[in-house]
Structure 1
Amino acid sequence: MTTSRYRVFSDDQWARVEPLLPSNAGRRGHPFGDNRRVVEAIAYRYRTGIAWRDLPREEFGPWQTAWKRHRRYAADGTWDRVLARLLAEADAAGKVDWAVSVDATITRAHQHATNTTRPEQDTGAGSNHRNQLPAEREPAGHGIGRSRGGLTTKIHAAVDGRGRPLAAVVTGGHRNDGAVLAAVLADIRVPRIGPGRPRTRPDSVIADKAYSAGTYRRALRARGIAVVIPQKSDEIAARKRRGSRGGRPPGLDTDAYKRRNVVERHFALAKQWRGLATRYDKLAITYRAAVILAACLIWSRI
């Protein structure tokens, strides 16, 4: 068992998470050994940003075990299922605030994350929704692109009204935030405890001007979602130039918009894990799995 200095899960948190993890490696009679030790190793690696080979062996055992387990959990969606269950329990208890804020944060891709193929090369279907097969969940270019900051990747996230993560999508750093809005909202899927379909629709979406295009507004309204997004200055000027033909300006609940900072605080908290603040992973699915693991840690406290 790892010492408390190396742990991120409390005993109570682990008691909630452990029953949701796979119990074996898919072979009858070969159960996983010491799940907590391995999961703590995975979390420690991302919290500190060290190389897998540098994991303290006396605390976590062979580094290969931690890496293989993380790779397996990333491919089969284990952490997505854990997060879905934790969200379901929180929603059943009325602890999810459905005034959802959406934004993206950009991170530098370390050279260890970019030495397999050029980021311009296609690597798959370009999507990473939970219900797809592992091969289809790896985004094009491994979710790495060229932007003003060089080789970068983006985490597009949706958080509830208290800044707790509901969904995450990883793309290249060059991708426009608004263009990924539909994928982020599609990633929100909170099952019910008992009968009923999963909840997928927020009460409202709060976002900055990067999401202000009319296409995004109409898509949200079509789903019955309140839109709390300010207009860009050029959109306002264009509407005024058209006079009466420009139509009425979209309304903005300024009090509700003040709550948008919760998503910024979420990113600030997530980037305290150095392995998330800088991307070292070659595969987008393993990087995203660490983002979801961090989300599970947050919701296991609720």
Structure 2
Amino acid sequence: MVLATEMGSSQPESSFDLSTYLVKRKEAIEVALDSALPVIYPEKIYEAMRYSLLAGGKRLRPILCLASCELAGGTTSMAIPTACALEMIHTMSLIHDDLPAMDNDDYRRGKLTNHKVYGEDIAILAGDGLLTYAFEFIATKTENVPPQQVLQTIAYLGRAAGAGGLIGGQVVDVESEGKTDVSLETLNYIHAHKTGALLEACVVCGAIIAGASAADLQRLSRFAQNIGLAFQIVDDILDITATQEELGKTAGKDVQAGKVTYPSLWGIEESRRQASQLVDDAKAQLAVFGSKALPLLAIADFITSRSN
């Protein structure tokens, strides 16, 4: 995929090869994740953690972290531990989300879900292990970054993953299941927290590691909030329009569970329009960064054009 992006009226059009960029960054992340989590005693828990952590996926969240760090003047080596930690936390959320007490799903990324392979008890513990190890990994493996920036990153990620972020969104999602009167405001809250908070942390934490200014962190935060919501809208659309083979997980789960989604409120075409508008608004936040923002801009466009 080659994306041509207009970076403001005063700058020439630039080309960016997103496919090559994603492949290279994903390869680096896969290597880092594999080496981050060796199997030691008790082997079963590490095997379960690795089963889900190394199950593939687009790795968009760690890639966003690396891209944001580079935009802010940092290097990928500075941000790799944080990028890996973000994927660990995301994987934890998937393991727990798939449990019978939550979404009760059998497939994730084209494979049996963790609890289907290791049992519910080990799956819960595998998620817990990934969540706690993520913070240890940032603290012990980040190099050539001032301690204050590492601490700020850990604190930001802790908020994003906790009751004020991902977990809070999950709670409201569970409480809203089966209700037909869920408002747009509540739906936005669910996804701004359950999906958006961690995605926003990916972008912001990469820039924190690089020492970005408060003004730049605010721009990147607004960018991430918009693409996070767009990402969820597209997810809702794909749950209706894509097959299980395309998604790598069970299709139609939202309808079966009686969940209110963006398409159920707006319809598919309006949902697509809303997602596209959110991406446009997100990209506008990065105009000040010029060509340094090309990777993030391309990923924003990719979010609305993806098929899984």
Same fold (TM over 0.5): no
TM-score range, shorter chain: under 0.3
Higher helix share: 2
TM-score (norm 2): 0.25
TM-score (norm 1): 0.25
Question: Whose radius of gyration is greater, 1 or 2?
Answer: 1
Larger RCO (CA under 8 A, 6+ residues apart): 1
